[in-house]
Structure 1
């Protein structure tokens, strides 16, 4: 991810086709170890492609991924019952814990 971020930063700065040395300079400037094989892979995958188009394609793909909002709306009724049961169980566990010491404290 850091190599992709460096590549995108360089493009935003006006470098149309960032080279390995450019990415290395960005990565090492913030004190991160540099792995040339990963940077070369990013360069090979993105070389000659329009970044804006790739981002737009990625956003359209993400739009089709279900989100937690859909799950929460569909399971709201079940969640309400589960929460009540969890609270009841927690209260029972707290009562049991208080009985565990049988009236004797560790430092009494």
Structure 2
């Protein structure tokens, strides 16, 4: 099989965290999320932080990777410190899971 065809068959992975922050802490968590994501390099495909409306402290973090191993390889001292700084902002630990991206549909560019 050609490399192009194999790339077509390759699926990305999504790390998903769903949680709720203490009242008024979403902005601080958003800043820390951006700091953590800025440390990612190899295999990182993009990230989203979604906030439940209207203006709640509930959110979903979605981070896209080439594969699960890439997420682990991007962990470093700075990343771990940011996650530790973020932990006290949650009401309770977020629910986390990995998903294989089975379909990807883009809109107009």
TM-score category of the 2 structures, normalised to the smaller one? under 0.3
What is the TM-score normalised by the length of structure 2? 0.22
More strand by proportion, 1 or 2? 2
- Identify the structure with bigger relative contact order (alpha carbons < 8 Å, sequence gap 6+): 2
Task: Report the TM-score when normalising by structure 1.
Answer: 0.22
